[in-house]
């Protein structure tokens, strides 16, 4: 159930990626316009703000009520997108839709943290993420299949139906936050919890690292269709290309769950950061050859190695960031979700907007994001010497 809840955000993104060309045509945008990426960016920005509507409230009232409220807003935003008469209204609806999706994003992590910690939490998060990655594998193909028989706005309508189904299903979800662990829902209480999160070196360093790792994913989501269509002229291959990368991400998550048990989450995170940095440097190196138009298969293979490494870091960073803060899990996940999603969406949108007909801007930005994430992981994971 938690996996499905987490997947609600992904399906609201990946299902509509094949509809980008139709959106450009329908709203009078240029065939190579990157403005359509705002359909993704606006959703991410809503997801960044949404947790603040639900996270602190969940520390006071429990997880189930705020989660249901978020799913209701999720459905409303999807319906608004279906009915929107202009591209600007679609972007606005996507922002509202993202606000609702912020509840599943934040509270699913809080629900897991209520029950698990340490390596057990990291292993569970990785296994959930592996199943969760089925959505990016299937969603683009499903979106393309819908558009073959229905208007392109059906990619907005299906998530609304899924949101309603989740509302009915979650009536079976048990409450994971017992009354004795709940906190007052007041400005002073939320402020104290917020200060505790924002001033904790380990939590904030790993949160900022996740922001840059999320920027890599946002840049990939905003650039993949343009790269396939305008750089390599393989637009018809997009669902297959996207699904292949998603399979690699799922395999990485399963492998991460196994490695966490053998190595431990804190040691594993340092090793994976170094491997991700090397892989992103290799992607940049090949992208600087052939005037930014490297061989398609070489580019795809290196990308398929780099993306799973950066993706595999996220559940581990999340676990290490949450370790010190079980008593304010709802507020902590709100702050972490806001920083990672808003920062990642804006930075990823900046990278997508830099598209120049080659893969150089994408690869260059990805290398910068991974390098900064690796530095923050190093800083946040380094133990301070004990006071004498």
What is 211-255 written as a DSSP string? HHHHHHHHHHHHHHHHIIIIIS--GGGHHHHHHHHHHHHHHHHHH
Task: Express each pLDDT in 104-125 by its tens digit.
Answer: 877 887 788 777 776 777 777 7
Under DSSP, is residue 338 helix (H, G, I), strand (E, B) or coil? helix
Residue 246 CA neighbour count, 13 Å, CB half:
21
Contacts of 85 (CB under 8 A, 6+ apart): none
Q: Do residues 54 and 103 lie in contact, with contact meaning Cβ atoms separated by under 8 Å?
A: yes
Entry pTM: 0.69
Q: In this predicted structure, which of 18-27, 71-80, 242-251, 322-331 has the lowest mean pLDDT?
A: 322-331
Higher pLDDT, 78 or 264: 78
Band of residue 329 on the pLDDT scale cut at 50, 70, 90: low
User: Is the model more confident about 102 or about 332?
Assistant: 102
Mean of the pLDDT values across residues 368-383?
Answer: 86
What pLDDT, on a 0 to 100 scale, did the predictor assign at position 323? 76
Average pLDDT over residues 325-339: 73
What is the rounded distance in angstroms from the CA atom of residue 60 to the CA atom of residue 100? 19
Structural tokens at position 70: 């978020």
State whether the Cα torsion 270-271-276-282 is positive or negative.
positive
More confident residue, 34 or 8: 8
Residue 100 burial by Cβ neighbours in a 10 Å radius (0-12, 13-18, 19+): buried
Which DSSP letter does residue 229 get? Answer: I
pLDDT of residue 385: 41
pLDDT at site 386? 39
Write down the pLDDT at residue 195: 78
d(CA 82, CA 252): 35
The encoded tokens of residue 353 equal 């907007």
pLDDT reported for residue 79: 93
Q: Burial of 174 by CB count in 10 Å (0-12 exposed, 13-18 middle, 19+ buried)?
A: exposed
Q: What local confidence, expressed as pLDDT, does residue 184 receive?
A: 66
258-262, 336-340, 348-352: range with lowest mean pLDDT: 258-262
Give the pLDDT score at 282: 92
Q: What's the angle, vertex CA 343, arms to CA 59 and CA 5, rounded to 5?
A: 45
Higher model confidence: residue 327 or residue 155?
A: 155
Average pLDDT over the chain, rounded to an integer: 81
For residues 101 and 70, the answer to whether their CB atoms sit within 8 Å is: yes
Length of the chain, please? Answer: 388
Contact 308, 254 (CB under 8 A): no
For residue 98, give the nearest of 54, 143, 36, 145 by alpha carbon. 54
Structure confidence at residue 78 (pLDDT): 93
How many Å is the Cα radius of gyration of the chain?
Answer: 20
Mean pLDDT for 326-337 is 72
């Amino acid at each position: 159930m938690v996996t499905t809840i987490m997947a609600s955000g992904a399906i609201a993104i990946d299902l509509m990626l094949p509809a980008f060309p139709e959106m450009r045509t329908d709203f009078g945008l240029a065939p190579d316009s990157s403005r359509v990426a705002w359909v993704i960016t606006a959703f991410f920005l809503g997801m960044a703000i949404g947790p603040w509507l639900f996270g602190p409230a969940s520390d006071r009232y429990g997880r189930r009520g705020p989660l249901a409220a978020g799913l209701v807003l999720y459905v409303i935003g999807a319906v608004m997108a279906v009915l929107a008469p202009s591209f600007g209204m679609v972007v606005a609806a996507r922002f509202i839709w993202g606000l609702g999706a912020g509840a599943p994003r934040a509270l699913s992590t809080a629900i897991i943290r209520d029950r698990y910690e340490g390596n057990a939490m990291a292993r569970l998060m990785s296994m959930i993420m592996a199943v969760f990655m089925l959505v990016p594998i299937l969603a683009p193909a499903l979106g393309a299949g819908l558009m073959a028989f229905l208007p392109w706005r059906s990619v907005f309508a299906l998530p609304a139906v899924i949101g309603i189904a989740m509302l009915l299903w979650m009536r079976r979800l048990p409450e994971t936050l017992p009354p004795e662990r709940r906190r007052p829902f007041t400005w002073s209480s939320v402020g104290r919890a917020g200060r505790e999160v924002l001033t904790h070196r380990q939590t904030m360093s790993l949160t900022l690292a996740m922001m840059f790792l999320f920027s890599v994913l946002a840049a990939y989501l905003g650039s993949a269709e343009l790269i396939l269509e305008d750089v390599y002229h393989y637009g018809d291959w997009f669902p297959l290309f996207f699904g292949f990368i998603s399979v690699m991400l799922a395999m990485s998550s399963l492998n991460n769950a196994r490695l966490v048990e053998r190595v431990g989450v804190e040691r594993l995170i340092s090793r994976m950061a170094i491997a991700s940095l090397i892989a992103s440097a290799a992607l940049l190196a090949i992208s600087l050859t052939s005037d930014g138009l490297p061989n398609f298969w070489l580019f795809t293979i290196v990308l398929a190695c780099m993306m799973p490494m950066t993706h595999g870091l996220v559940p581990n960073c999340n676990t290490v960031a949450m370790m010190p803060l079980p008593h304010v899990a709802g507020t902590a996940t709100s702050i972490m979700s806001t920083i990672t999603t808003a920062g990642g969406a804006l930075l990823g949108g900046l990278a997508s907007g830099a598209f120049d007909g080659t893969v150089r801007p994408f690869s260059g930005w990805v290398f910068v994001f991974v390098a900064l994430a690796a530095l923050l992981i190093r800083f946040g994971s380094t133990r301070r010497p004990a006071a004498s």
